Amino acid sequence: MNYLPNIIFAILLIFGIGYFTKNVKKLIRNIKLGQDVDVSNNKKERFKNMMRIAFGQSKMVRRPIAGMLHAIVYVGFIVINIEVLEIIIDGLLGTHRAFSGIGVTYGVLIGIFEILAILVLVSVTLFWIRRNVIKIRRFWNKEMTSWPKNDANYILYFEMVLMTLFLIMNATDVAFQSMNNGNVISQFIAPWFSNLPEATLHIVERSAWWLHIVGILIFLNYLYFSKHLHILLAFPNTYYGSLKPKGQFNNLESVTKEVKLMMDPNADPFAAPADDTNDEMPAKFGASDVQDLNWVQLLNAYTCTECGRCTSSCPANLTGKKLSPRKIMMDTRDRLEEVGKNIDANKGEFKDDGKQLLGDYITHEELWACTTCNACVEECPVSINPLSIILDMRRYLVMEQSAAPTELNNMMSNIENNGAPWPYNQMDRLNWKNE
């Protein structure tokens, strides 16, 4: 019976990690529903971007207060995870503080953890106040309905509870307190428990320990359902982020082929396609649903932290128009999840559900409000490009459905006929010279 806690611990661990793995697999499958895109070039530069933007948080600190608080929580999160390793070893082997044998260094380590824990507690509290009391505008936009708003708060509560449990665990650990090494913060909490009988104290310590590790496992599995997925995906996402100038929009190869054929005076329009060109016809031009987007755009959607920095700098949004780049990303993720569930329910195959991203999630009005100014792309702290999705959907509207606003259709036929967006004759192009 002595092994019971160890067995329970092992089972918990297997379930926790197992369920997480299952969801990660689903995540990867969903992202792979996107079109292929070649991002295998410039590995060095990509790695540098990842280190700078995701690891180094270079874009977070552009807003100094949020940036600093975020950095604390981030460092705290990473460093305190070393403690989780010890917990796992203790849990599986039935040891107590397996690492404490390393002496003074252990004290230093735990001391650092404790300081970080208190800093994280403070930061998270400030975050909560900023969100719920000061009500910063970008956290209260239209798309921040019940779930996205609660999600953000749940995470904050989670962190508060985890950090508190960690400190209580240390404070009620009699052996640890009597080492008097590394208990920089917990020594001040310990007195609160000092008049408890030893057995009760032990129960408190054990409870905090168990709740702490169970909490971490729940947190791990909560990630998949939450905007908090960014703590994992920010890394690949910044790695695969675009290296091109922001003004350079991608070239549609499929269109190039057709245009060249059209413009080639030697091409026989009635010729049957040569036999070797059985390369699949492009299904469609542009995107109307998530499967038409490329996988980096889908990865973007899962990475979005819903911070709203993009939306708060979007000129269309700032002037009261319906467009919100954050909503574009949230819609894409929601639809992708829906498609994924559809596939799960239909034994690995997508059954048409009569819905799509365009129209059911994102309206034409939103798409046509974009000035392609790249403010959203510039702002995003994790290299997400909402503009690329907007453009791909415009492409679908224009090239597949001829559904551009009338004025734009006029503009385009002017270009076709006169080589200018206005109805002027190309022969008058040099008139300015003599006016």
Q: How far is the CB of 218 from another protein (least distance, A)?
A: 39
Segment (H or E) for 89? helix 64-93
DSSP label of 103: T
Residue 326 interacts with, from ligand SF4, another protein, none (CB under 5-8 Å by kind): ligand SF4
Tell me how far CA of residue 142 lies from CA of 55, 151, 204, 320, 428, in angstroms. Answer: 31, 15, 43, 11, 49
Nearer to another protein, 21 or 371 (CB): 371
Which of the residues 287 through 316 are near ligand SF4 (CB under 6 A)?
304-310, 314-316
Nearer to another protein, 180 or 251 (CB): 251
Nearer to ligand SF4, 182 or 241 (CB): 241
Q: Mask: binding to ligand SF4, 383-412, rule CB under 6 A, as x and -?
A: -x-xx--x----------------------
Q: Which residue has the tokens 């690492």?
A: 99
Q: How far is the CB of 140 from ligand SF4 (least distance, A)?
A: 14
Rounded CA separation 407/154 (Å): 47
Rounded CA separation 186/114 (Å): 7
* Binding of ligand SF4 by 374 (CB under 6 A): yes
Nearer to ligand SF4, 123 or 332 (CB): 332
Tell me how far CA of residue 36 lies from CA of 39, 209, 296, 328, 402, in angstroms. Answer: 9, 45, 9, 21, 26
Half-sphere CA count of 308, side-chain side, radius 13 A: 17
Rounded CA separation 414/356 (Å): 32
Nearer to another protein, 206 or 364 (CB): 364
Residue 435 interacts with, from ligand SF4, another protein, none (CB under 5-8 Å by kind): another protein
Written as one letter, the residue type at 252 is: L
Q: By CB under 8 A, name the binding residues for another protein.
A: 244-249, 251-252, 255-256, 258-260, 262-263, 285-286, 313, 315-316, 318-323, 365, 368-375, 377-378, 391, 393-399, 404-405, 407-408, 410-412, 415-416, 419-422, 424, 426-435
Q: Which residue has the tokens 């036929």?
A: 413
Residue 325 interacts with, from ligand SF4, another protein, none (CB under 5-8 Å by kind): ligand SF4
Nearer to another protein, 30 or 356 (CB): 356
Rounded CA separation 119/333 (Å): 33
Residue 256 interacts with, from ligand SF4, another protein, none (CB under 5-8 Å by kind): another protein
Nearer to another protein, 13 or 399 (CB): 399
* Binding of ligand SF4 by 372 (CB under 6 A): yes
As a whole number of angstroms, the longest Cα–Cα distance in the chain is 101
Q: In 3-state terms, what secondary structure has residue 127? A: helix
Number of residues that bind ligand SF4 (CB under 6 A): 28
Nearer to another protein, 212 or 326 (CB): 326
Rounded CA separation 155/161 (Å): 10
Written as one letter, the residue type at 273 is: P
Dihedral, CA of residue 54, residue 55, residue 56 and residue 59, to nearest 10: 10
291, exposed or middle or buried, with CB in 10 Å at 0-12, 13-18, 19+?
middle
Q: Say how many C-beta atoms besides its own lie within 10 A of residue 409's C-beta.
A: 13
Both tokens assigned to 221: 């599995």
Residue 365 interacts with, from ligand SF4, another protein, none (CB under 5-8 Å by kind): another protein
The region of 40-48, 175-183, 375-383, 426-434 touching ligand SF4 under the rule CB under 6 A is 375-383
* Binding of ligand SF4 by 231 (CB under 6 A): no
Q: Mask: binding to ligand SF4, 317-346, rule CB under 6 A, as x and -?
A: ------x-xx--x-----------------
Q: How far is the CB of 46 from another protein (least distance, A)?
A: 19
Rounded CA separation 231/111 (Å): 25
- Site residues (CB under 6 A) for ligand SF4? 304-310, 314-316, 323, 325-326, 329, 370-376, 379-380, 382, 384, 386-387, 390
